[in-house]
Amino acid sequence: MRIIKNIILISLLFAIILASLFFGEKWVRANVKNQAIVYNSQLNPTVMIPGSSANNHRFDNLVAILNRQSTTHSLLRVQVNEDNSISYSGRIRPNDSQPYIVIGFQNNSDGYANIKRQAKWLEIAMKFLQKRYHFNHFNAFGHSNGGLDWTIYLEKYFNQKSSTIGTLMTVGSPFNFSEKSESNRTQMLTDLIKNRSKLPRDMTVYSIAGTETYNDDGIVPIESVLSGKYVFQKNVHSYTQITVSGNDSEHSDLPTNPQIVQLIQRDILDGRGQKQSSNPVFNNH
């Protein structure tokens, strides 16, 4: 009888040891995975959106210029298709904490209705990217309608409980479409103003306008770009309006304008523009 009890005790002990080894290995694997996620959360990409009729190769030249002038970063191109599926090319290198991600849309047509659809597609892309690469902080850059996509996304779809945005830089973005009078507000501008209280309060915003002819950048009236102040001013941490002129100030040339490249380097990549004051500021120069 004693021998049987000893055999049972030994068997139980052996089973406990095996269970400990099995679950211990699973815990180690899970812990390693969690540590990898924590590590990847240090990722702070610059996510770029082009304007109408442009695809996810729109900023290839801009990224090449930035990489020549400073630390070289990865480039990942993403496309959201009309059926909500996603395709992508390029890769984010290991240990690259500030990669560039360019999001384009299969349907890149103009018009307020389609811009609202693009904002929804942007949400789909951001959820995909954050799940795949495990980041919760990013900076945003939008040229032309790309800045409108970002603004609608931040008002309507951005989850402030799980993510943070440092800087939003819009370039030549027509917040009032082709209107030259700020008193003639389009439906889009009216909606953006209506929902501005939902913008992330800690965000730093730069709105850049080009003035090829002192009145516009050849396409977008400067008054339309400057109408962004009604959306952002006093609703985000800081809001700055900047006007560039001279060479490369035409609408399509703005992303590679030397002054704008310098602003991206200084205020997004180096982070010097983020949380620069305790109160919202407004500059127009």
DSSP 221: B
Return the domain boundaries, the chain.
1-40, 44-269
Please write the tens of the pLDDT for every residue from 102-149. 999 999 999 999 999 999 999 999 999 999 999 999 999 999 999 999
Domain 44-269: which topology?
Rossmann fold (3.40.50)
What is the chain's mean pLDDT, rounded?
87
Do the beta carbons of residue 267 and residue 166 sit within 8 Å? no
Distance CA 55, CA 58 (A): 6
pLDDT > 60? residue 284: no
- Strand pairing partners for 140? 47, 168
Band of pLDDT at residue 227, cut at 50, 70 and 90: very high
Pairing of strands 204-211, 164-171: parallel
Q: What is the pLDDT of residues 229-253, one digit of tens each?
A: 999 999 999 999 999 988 888 999 9
The pLDDT, as a whole number, for residue 4 is 56
* DSSP one-letter string for 102-113: EEEES----SHH
Task: Read off the pLDDT of residues 174-201 as tens digits, 9 standing for 90 and up.
Answer: 999 999 998 999 999 999 999 999 999 9
| Residue 90 backbone dihedrals phi, psi, to 5 degrees | 85, -175
CA angle 158, 208, 79 (to 5 degrees): 45
Q: Is the pLDDT of residue 36 over 50?
A: no
